[in-house]
Protein backbone atom coordinates (compact mmCIF):
# COMPACT_ATOMS: atom_id res chain seq x y z
CA UNK A 1 0.00 0.00 0.00
CA UNK A 2 1.38 3.39 -1.01
CA UNK A 3 2.00 5.72 1.92
CA UNK A 4 0.47 9.18 2.11
CA UNK A 5 3.16 11.84 2.28
CA UNK A 6 3.23 14.92 4.51
CA UNK A 7 5.73 17.71 3.92
CA UNK A 8 6.29 19.81 7.05
CA UNK A 9 7.78 23.21 6.15
CA UNK A 10 9.29 25.78 8.50
CA UNK A 11 12.19 28.21 8.54
CA UNK A 12 12.62 30.04 11.83
CA UNK A 13 13.61 29.08 15.35
CA UNK A 14 10.12 29.63 16.86
CA UNK A 15 8.56 27.48 14.15
CA UNK A 16 11.12 24.73 14.76
CA UNK A 17 10.35 24.74 18.48
CA UNK A 18 6.62 24.47 17.86
CA UNK A 19 6.77 22.03 14.95
CA UNK A 20 9.34 19.61 16.42
CA UNK A 21 6.76 17.87 18.66
CA UNK A 22 4.43 17.56 15.64
CA UNK A 23 7.15 15.96 13.51
CA UNK A 24 7.94 13.52 16.33
CA UNK A 25 4.24 12.67 16.74
CA UNK A 26 3.69 12.17 13.01
CA UNK A 27 6.69 9.87 12.74
CA UNK A 28 5.00 7.48 15.18
CA UNK A 29 2.40 6.83 12.47
CA UNK A 30 4.29 4.34 10.31
CA UNK A 31 1.72 4.32 7.50
CA UNK A 32 2.48 8.00 6.82
CA UNK A 33 5.71 9.28 5.32
CA UNK A 34 6.72 12.54 6.99
CA UNK A 35 9.42 14.71 5.45
CA UNK A 36 10.78 18.01 6.76
CA UNK A 37 11.70 20.99 4.60
CA UNK A 38 13.48 23.98 6.15
CA UNK A 39 14.04 27.30 4.43
CA UNK A 40 16.76 28.53 6.77
CA UNK A 41 15.00 31.88 7.26
CA UNK A 42 16.86 31.75 10.58
CA UNK A 43 20.00 29.66 10.16
CA UNK A 44 22.08 28.97 13.26
CA UNK A 45 19.15 29.37 15.65
CA UNK A 46 17.05 26.99 13.58
CA UNK A 47 19.77 24.33 13.36
CA UNK A 48 20.28 24.37 17.13
CA UNK A 49 16.63 23.61 17.84
CA UNK A 50 16.58 20.78 15.32
CA UNK A 51 19.61 19.30 17.06
CA UNK A 52 17.90 19.39 20.47
CA UNK A 53 14.93 17.43 19.12
CA UNK A 54 17.10 15.17 16.94
CA UNK A 55 15.37 16.15 13.68
CA UNK A 56 17.31 16.13 10.42
CA UNK A 57 15.71 18.01 7.50
CA UNK A 58 15.04 16.11 4.29
CA UNK A 59 15.14 19.33 2.24
CA UNK A 60 16.98 22.59 2.98
CA UNK A 61 16.52 25.67 0.78
CA UNK A 62 18.94 27.80 2.86
CA UNK A 63 17.62 31.22 1.85
CA UNK A 64 19.29 33.26 4.60
CA UNK A 65 21.60 36.10 3.55
CA UNK A 66 22.97 39.21 5.25
CA UNK A 67 20.56 42.17 5.41
CA UNK A 68 17.80 40.07 3.90
CA UNK A 69 14.61 41.81 2.79
CA UNK A 70 11.09 40.40 2.79
CA UNK A 71 10.76 40.62 -1.00
CA UNK A 72 13.96 38.71 -1.73
CA UNK A 73 13.26 36.08 0.95
CA UNK A 74 9.74 35.60 -0.42
CA UNK A 75 10.96 35.12 -3.98
CA UNK A 76 13.60 32.58 -2.96
CA UNK A 77 11.16 30.62 -0.79
CA UNK A 78 8.49 30.55 -3.50
CA UNK A 79 10.86 29.14 -6.11
CA UNK A 80 12.66 26.80 -3.71
CA UNK A 81 9.52 25.32 -2.15
CA UNK A 82 7.85 24.96 -5.56
CA UNK A 83 10.77 22.88 -6.80
CA UNK A 84 10.61 20.64 -3.73
CA UNK A 85 6.83 20.20 -3.98
CA UNK A 86 7.17 19.16 -7.61
CA UNK A 87 9.92 16.70 -6.69
CA UNK A 88 8.42 15.20 -3.51
CA UNK A 89 4.73 15.39 -4.49
CA UNK A 90 3.28 15.40 -0.96
CA UNK A 91 -0.35 14.56 -0.24
CA UNK A 92 -0.54 17.52 2.10
CA UNK A 93 1.64 20.42 3.28
CA UNK A 94 1.83 21.39 6.97
CA UNK A 95 2.90 24.91 7.96
CA UNK A 96 2.96 26.83 11.20
CA UNK A 97 1.86 30.23 12.41
CA UNK A 98 2.61 33.46 10.65
CA UNK A 99 6.11 33.61 9.21
CA UNK A 100 7.11 34.54 5.68
CA UNK A 101 8.19 30.92 5.23
CA UNK A 102 4.72 29.66 6.16
CA UNK A 103 2.81 32.15 4.01
CA UNK A 104 4.94 31.74 0.89
CA UNK A 105 5.08 27.95 1.27
CA UNK A 106 1.29 27.91 1.51
CA UNK A 107 1.11 30.01 -1.64
CA UNK A 108 3.43 27.61 -3.47
CA UNK A 109 1.25 24.66 -2.42
CA UNK A 110 -1.88 26.51 -3.49
CA UNK A 111 -0.45 27.14 -6.94
CA UNK A 112 0.08 23.38 -7.26
CA UNK A 113 -3.33 22.58 -5.71
CA UNK A 114 -1.80 20.69 -2.79
CA UNK A 115 -3.89 20.91 0.42
CA UNK A 116 -2.40 23.14 3.12
CA UNK A 117 -2.89 22.44 6.82
CA UNK A 118 -2.12 25.13 9.37
CA UNK A 119 -0.79 24.69 12.91
CA UNK A 120 -1.49 27.60 15.30
CA UNK A 121 -4.33 28.86 13.14
CA UNK A 122 -6.79 31.61 13.97
CA UNK A 123 -4.66 34.04 15.95
CA UNK A 124 -5.73 37.62 15.20
CA UNK A 125 -5.08 41.20 16.34
CA UNK A 126 -7.37 42.55 13.59
CA UNK A 127 -4.72 45.18 12.81
CA UNK A 128 -2.90 44.22 9.63
CA UNK A 129 0.22 46.20 10.64
CA UNK A 130 0.51 44.81 14.17
CA UNK A 131 2.41 42.57 14.31
CA UNK A 132 3.87 43.26 10.88
CA UNK A 133 4.00 41.31 8.57
CA UNK A 134 2.78 38.41 10.71
CA UNK A 135 -0.88 39.45 10.94
CA UNK A 136 -1.16 39.57 7.15
CA UNK A 137 0.70 36.28 6.80
CA UNK A 138 -1.56 34.31 9.12
CA UNK A 139 -4.75 35.76 7.65
CA UNK A 140 -3.53 34.84 4.18
CA UNK A 141 -2.63 31.29 5.22
CA UNK A 142 -6.09 30.99 6.76
CA UNK A 143 -7.68 31.79 3.39
CA UNK A 144 -5.64 29.02 1.72
CA UNK A 145 -5.68 26.26 4.35
CA UNK A 146 -7.98 23.23 4.27
CA UNK A 147 -7.43 22.19 7.90
CA UNK A 148 -6.95 24.69 10.73
CA UNK A 149 -5.37 23.55 14.01
CA UNK A 150 -6.49 26.26 16.42
CA UNK A 151 -4.58 26.42 19.72
CA UNK A 152 -7.48 27.85 21.74
CA UNK A 153 -11.24 28.33 21.70
CA UNK A 154 -10.70 32.03 21.00
CA UNK A 155 -8.70 31.18 17.89
CA UNK A 156 -11.49 28.89 16.71
CA UNK A 157 -13.98 31.72 17.20
CA UNK A 158 -11.83 34.01 15.06
CA UNK A 159 -11.86 31.43 12.26
CA UNK A 160 -15.61 30.89 12.55
CA UNK A 161 -16.14 34.66 12.31
CA UNK A 162 -14.30 34.48 8.97
CA UNK A 163 -16.73 31.77 7.77
CA UNK A 164 -14.27 28.90 8.10
CA UNK A 165 -16.29 25.65 8.22
CA UNK A 166 -16.35 24.31 11.77
CA UNK A 167 -15.60 20.79 10.51
CA UNK A 168 -12.28 22.07 9.18
CA UNK A 169 -11.15 23.38 12.59
CA UNK A 170 -9.57 21.31 15.35
CA UNK A 171 -8.86 22.92 18.74
CA UNK A 172 -5.65 21.26 19.87
CA UNK A 173 -3.83 23.43 22.38
CA UNK A 174 -0.54 25.05 21.42
CA UNK A 175 2.38 22.86 20.44
CA UNK A 176 4.83 25.19 22.19
CA UNK A 177 3.50 23.73 25.44
CA UNK A 178 4.47 20.29 24.14
CA UNK A 179 7.99 21.59 23.49
CA UNK A 180 8.28 23.18 26.94
CA UNK A 181 6.94 20.04 28.59
CA UNK A 182 9.37 17.77 26.76
CA UNK A 183 12.33 20.05 27.45
CA UNK A 184 11.41 20.64 31.11
CA UNK A 185 11.07 16.90 31.70
CA UNK A 186 14.48 16.31 30.15
CA UNK A 187 16.03 19.07 32.27
CA UNK A 188 14.69 17.30 35.37
CA UNK A 189 16.00 13.82 34.55
CA UNK A 190 19.10 14.39 32.40
CA UNK A 191 21.89 15.85 34.56
CA UNK A 192 24.27 16.48 31.67
CA UNK A 193 21.54 18.21 29.67
CA UNK A 194 20.65 20.37 32.69
CA UNK A 195 24.27 21.31 33.40
CA UNK A 196 24.80 22.35 29.79
CA UNK A 197 21.64 24.45 29.89
CA UNK A 198 22.61 26.27 33.10
CA UNK A 199 26.40 26.65 32.91
CA UNK A 200 26.35 30.00 31.10
CA UNK A 201 24.51 31.58 34.06
CA UNK A 202 26.32 30.13 37.06
CA UNK A 203 27.67 33.61 37.88
CA UNK A 204 24.30 35.31 38.33
CA UNK A 205 23.70 37.07 41.66
CA UNK A 206 21.58 34.70 43.72
CA UNK A 207 20.23 37.60 45.82
CA UNK A 208 18.76 39.57 42.90
CA UNK A 209 15.60 38.53 41.03
CA UNK A 210 16.13 37.84 37.34
CA UNK A 211 14.24 39.68 34.63
CA UNK A 212 14.56 37.89 31.29
CA UNK A 213 14.25 40.26 28.32
CA UNK A 214 13.62 39.46 24.67
CA UNK A 215 12.95 42.12 22.03
CA UNK A 216 13.16 41.79 18.27
CA UNK A 217 9.82 42.43 16.54
CA UNK A 218 9.94 44.41 13.32
CA UNK A 219 7.39 46.99 14.49
CA UNK A 220 9.67 47.81 17.44
CA UNK A 221 12.74 48.52 15.32
CA UNK A 222 11.68 52.05 14.39
CA UNK A 223 12.29 53.58 17.82
CA UNK A 224 10.62 51.00 20.03
CA UNK A 225 13.87 49.19 20.82
CA UNK A 226 15.42 52.50 21.96
CA UNK A 227 12.54 53.04 24.39
CA UNK A 228 12.76 49.49 25.67
CA UNK A 229 16.47 49.89 26.39
CA UNK A 230 15.86 53.25 28.07
CA UNK A 231 13.38 51.62 30.46
CA UNK A 232 15.66 48.66 31.23
CA UNK A 233 18.59 50.96 31.97
CA UNK A 234 16.52 53.04 34.39
CA UNK A 235 15.23 49.97 36.26
CA UNK A 236 18.75 48.51 36.39
CA UNK A 237 19.98 51.72 38.03
CA UNK A 238 17.64 51.09 40.97
CA UNK A 239 19.59 47.91 41.78
CA UNK A 240 16.41 45.93 42.42
CA UNK A 241 16.94 43.28 39.74
CA UNK A 242 19.39 41.78 37.30
CA UNK A 243 18.53 41.56 33.64
CA UNK A 244 19.50 38.83 31.19
CA UNK A 245 19.00 39.98 27.61
CA UNK A 246 19.77 37.49 24.82
CA UNK A 247 20.24 39.91 21.93
CA UNK A 248 18.69 39.00 18.59
CA UNK A 249 21.12 38.78 15.66
CA UNK A 250 19.35 41.50 13.68
CA UNK A 251 22.03 44.23 13.36
CA UNK A 252 19.47 46.93 14.08
CA UNK A 253 18.72 45.30 17.43
CA UNK A 254 22.37 44.54 18.19
CA UNK A 255 23.55 48.12 17.63
CA UNK A 256 20.93 49.81 19.81
CA UNK A 257 21.06 47.30 22.67
CA UNK A 258 24.83 47.29 22.98
CA UNK A 259 25.06 51.08 22.71
CA UNK A 260 22.50 51.67 25.46
CA UNK A 261 23.00 48.77 27.86
CA UNK A 262 26.51 47.34 27.63
CA UNK A 263 27.90 49.48 30.48
CA UNK A 264 25.46 48.28 33.17
CA UNK A 265 26.90 45.68 35.55
CA UNK A 266 23.52 44.14 36.39
CA UNK A 267 22.52 43.75 32.72
CA UNK A 268 23.93 40.65 31.08
CA UNK A 269 23.84 40.80 27.28
CA UNK A 270 24.29 37.43 25.61
CA UNK A 271 24.07 36.00 22.10
CA UNK A 272 20.81 34.15 21.35
CA UNK A 273 20.46 31.20 23.72
CA UNK A 274 19.99 27.53 22.92
CA UNK A 275 16.41 26.44 23.53
CA UNK A 276 17.19 24.40 26.69
CA UNK A 277 19.05 27.45 28.06
CA UNK A 278 15.98 29.59 27.45
CA UNK A 279 13.66 27.20 29.29
CA UNK A 280 16.14 26.82 32.15
CA UNK A 281 16.52 30.59 32.45
CA UNK A 282 12.78 31.22 32.23
CA UNK A 283 12.29 28.74 35.07
CA UNK A 284 14.73 30.74 37.19
CA UNK A 285 13.34 34.16 36.24
CA UNK A 286 11.10 36.36 38.37
CA UNK A 287 9.61 38.33 35.45
CA UNK A 288 9.54 37.87 31.67
CA UNK A 289 9.75 41.12 29.69
CA UNK A 290 9.18 40.45 26.01
CA UNK A 291 7.74 41.39 22.65
CA UNK A 292 7.70 37.72 21.60
CA UNK A 293 4.56 35.72 20.98
CA UNK A 294 5.97 32.33 21.92
CA UNK A 295 7.29 33.47 25.28
CA UNK A 296 3.79 34.55 26.27
CA UNK A 297 2.69 30.95 25.81
CA UNK A 298 5.74 29.47 27.53
CA UNK A 299 5.16 31.85 30.44
CA UNK A 300 1.74 30.31 30.98
CA UNK A 301 3.19 26.80 31.34
CA UNK A 302 5.99 27.97 33.64
CA UNK A 303 3.66 30.27 35.62
CA UNK A 304 5.84 33.35 35.18
CA UNK A 305 4.44 36.92 35.08
CA UNK A 306 4.82 38.20 31.53
CA UNK A 307 4.98 41.87 30.55
CA UNK A 308 4.40 42.24 26.82
CA UNK A 309 6.14 45.21 25.16
CA UNK A 310 3.55 45.58 22.43
CA UNK A 311 0.32 47.53 21.99
CA UNK A 312 -1.58 44.51 20.68
CA UNK A 313 -1.32 40.77 21.05
CA UNK A 314 -2.76 37.98 18.94
CA UNK A 315 -2.54 35.86 22.11
CA UNK A 316 -5.10 37.56 24.38
CA UNK A 317 -5.84 34.43 26.40
CA UNK A 318 -3.00 34.95 28.88
CA UNK A 319 -3.80 38.65 29.27
CA UNK A 320 -7.44 37.80 29.91
CA UNK A 321 -6.41 35.14 32.45
CA UNK A 322 -4.26 37.67 34.33
CA UNK A 323 -0.88 36.08 33.57
CA UNK A 324 0.30 38.75 31.15
CA UNK A 325 -0.05 42.49 30.74
CA UNK A 326 0.38 44.69 27.68
CA UNK A 327 2.78 47.52 28.54
CA UNK A 328 3.75 48.78 25.07
CA UNK A 329 7.11 50.46 24.56
CA UNK A 330 6.56 53.63 26.56
CA UNK A 331 9.46 53.67 29.06
CA UNK A 332 7.27 54.95 31.87
CA UNK A 333 4.77 52.08 31.47
CA UNK A 334 7.53 49.45 31.35
CA UNK A 335 9.31 50.89 34.40
CA UNK A 336 6.13 51.12 36.47
CA UNK A 337 5.02 47.59 35.56
CA UNK A 338 8.38 45.96 36.32
CA UNK A 339 8.90 47.82 39.59
CA UNK A 340 5.35 47.01 40.69
CA UNK A 341 6.03 43.27 40.29
CA UNK A 342 9.44 43.55 41.95
CA UNK A 343 8.06 45.40 44.95
CA UNK A 344 4.62 43.80 45.38
CA UNK A 345 4.58 40.08 46.15
CA UNK A 346 0.79 39.89 45.97
CA UNK A 347 0.76 41.40 42.48
CA UNK A 348 3.47 38.98 41.38
CA UNK A 349 1.64 36.00 42.88
CA UNK A 350 -1.62 37.04 41.19
CA UNK A 351 0.04 36.71 37.76
CA UNK A 352 1.19 33.14 38.44
CA UNK A 353 -1.98 31.66 37.02
CA UNK A 354 -2.81 28.00 37.65
CA UNK A 355 -4.83 27.26 34.52
CA UNK A 356 -2.85 27.26 31.27
CA UNK A 357 -5.06 28.60 28.45
CA UNK A 358 -2.72 27.09 25.84
CA UNK A 359 -3.35 23.46 26.62
CA UNK A 360 -1.96 20.39 28.34
CA UNK A 361 1.20 19.76 26.29
CA UNK A 362 -0.25 17.04 24.04
CA UNK A 363 -1.38 19.14 21.07
CA UNK A 364 0.99 17.39 18.66
CA UNK A 365 -0.73 14.03 19.15
CA UNK A 366 -4.12 15.60 18.39
CA UNK A 367 -2.74 17.17 15.21
CA UNK A 368 -1.17 13.90 14.07
CA UNK A 369 -4.41 11.99 14.72
CA UNK A 370 -6.54 14.47 12.76
CA UNK A 371 -4.08 14.47 9.87
CA UNK A 372 -4.12 10.67 9.63
CA UNK A 373 -7.94 10.74 9.46
CA UNK A 374 -7.77 13.46 6.80
CA UNK A 375 -5.33 11.44 4.70
CA UNK A 376 -7.33 8.22 5.03
CA UNK A 377 -10.33 9.73 3.24
Catalytic choice (15, 33, 98, 291): 98
Catalytic choice (15, 134, 154, 178): 134
Q: What's the rounded Cα separation, in Å, for the pair 204 and 200?
A: 9
- Are the beta carbons of 144 and 116 closer than 8 angstroms? yes
**3-state DSSP call for residue 131?**
coil
CA nearest 17: which of 250, 246, 278?
278
Q: Is 120 a catalytic residue?
A: yes
Q: What's the rounded Cα separation, in Å, for the pair 298 and 285?
A: 12
Q: What is the dihedral of CA 354, 363, 218, 228, to 10 degrees?
A: 20
Catalytic choice (120, 135, 170, 317): 120
- Are the beta carbons of 23 and 55 closer than 8 angstroms? yes
- Are the beta carbons of 83 and 56 closer than 8 angstroms? no
Q: Is 139 a catalytic residue?
A: no
Catalytic choice (218, 226, 252, 370): 218
Catalytic choice (216, 217, 315, 366): 216
Q: What's the rounded Cα separation, in Å, for the pair 121 and 169?
A: 9
- What φ, ψ does residue 84 adopt, rounded to 5°? -70, -40
Q: Is 248 a catalytic residue?
A: yes
| Cis status, amide bond into 320, omega within 30 of 0 | no
How big is the CA angle at 168 (ends 100 and 82), to the nearest 5 degrees?
A: 35
- Are the beta carbons of 72 and 39 closer than 8 angstroms? no
User: Which positions ≥6 away from 297 have C-beta within 8 Å?
Assistant: 174, 176, 177, 315, 318, 358
Q: Is 134 a catalytic residue?
A: yes
User: What sign has the CA pseudo-torsion 354, 355, 360, 363?
Assistant: negative
Q: What's the rounded Cα separation, in Å, for the pair 42 and 53?
A: 17
- Are the beta carbons of 319 and 308 closer than 8 angstroms? yes
- What φ, ψ does residue 13 adopt, rounded to 5°? -60, -50
Work out the number of other CB atoms within 10 angstroms of the CB of residue 140. Answer: 18
Catalytic choice (13, 42, 217, 248): 248
Catalytic positions, please?
98, 120, 134, 216, 218, 248
Amino acid sequence: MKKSKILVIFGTRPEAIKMAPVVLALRKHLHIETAVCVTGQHREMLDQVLSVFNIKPDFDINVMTDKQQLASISAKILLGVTNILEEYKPSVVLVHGDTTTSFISSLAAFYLQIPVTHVEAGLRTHNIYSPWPEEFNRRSIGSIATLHFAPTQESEENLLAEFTPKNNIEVTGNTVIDAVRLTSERLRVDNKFCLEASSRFNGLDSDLPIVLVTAHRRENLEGGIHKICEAIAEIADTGQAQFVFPVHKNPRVQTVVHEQLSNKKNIILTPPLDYPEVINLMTRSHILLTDSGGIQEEAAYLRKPCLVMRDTTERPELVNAGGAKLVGTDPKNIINAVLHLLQNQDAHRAMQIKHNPYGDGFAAERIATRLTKFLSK
